[in-house]
Amino acid sequence: MFALLPDNPFERITVHVDGNTVGVPPGFTAAAAMLLHGASSTRTTPVTGEPRAPYCMMGVCFECLMQIDGEPNQQGCLVTVVEGMRIERQLGKCKVDE
């Protein structure tokens, strides 16, 4: 669905999106990385389990919650990618370590 604007194809950061190793331009957010690599839904809601995807991309709507490096419920649109980052979908409610 999404394509990159023309940029320097030699500048890429390697991240892992739902287990797949992919390259994204520097400065990308985790949410953008997921969208670029074909995710149509990036989380399921904690109440009804409905699929959702990033919406506002500016930190307001909380629709882009995802697990980043094992930390649940991160706002993917506010986190800039770094080398080796693990980005996963947030499925339902966050689990608690008691």
Partner 1 sequence: MADFDAIVIGGGLVGTAVAYGIARLGRRPVLLDEGDIAHRASRGNFGLVWVQSKGIGVPEYQRWTRQSSDTWADFSKELLEETGIGTGHERPGGVTICLSEEELDKRRRLMEQLHIEAGETNFDYEILRHAELKKMLPAIGPDVVGASYTRYDGHANPLFTMRALHAALLKHGGTYVPNARVESIQAAPNHFVINAGGQSFAAPRLVLGAGLGNKALGEMVGLDVPVRPVRGQIIVTERLQPVLPIPTLMMRQTVEGTIMIGESREESGFDDTTSPEVIHTLAQRAVKSFPFLKNVRIVRTWGALRVMAPDGLPIYEQSSEFPGAFVCTCHSGVTLAASHARYYAQYVMDGALPAELARFSTKRFDVRAAA
Residues that bind partner 1 (CB under 8 A): 46-47, 62, 72-73, 92-98
Measured distance CA(11)–CA(53) in Å, rounded: 27
| Residue 72 tokens, joined | 């649940």
Q: Are 88 and 76 in contact (CB under 8 A)?
A: no
Minimum distance, C-beta of residue 88 to partner 1, in the bound complex (Å): 16
**CB nearer partner 1, residue 5 or residue 96:** 96
**CB nearer partner 1, residue 26 or residue 92:** 92
**CB nearer partner 1, residue 40 or residue 48:** 48
Q: CA 32, 95, 20: angle at the middle one, nearest 5?
A: 35
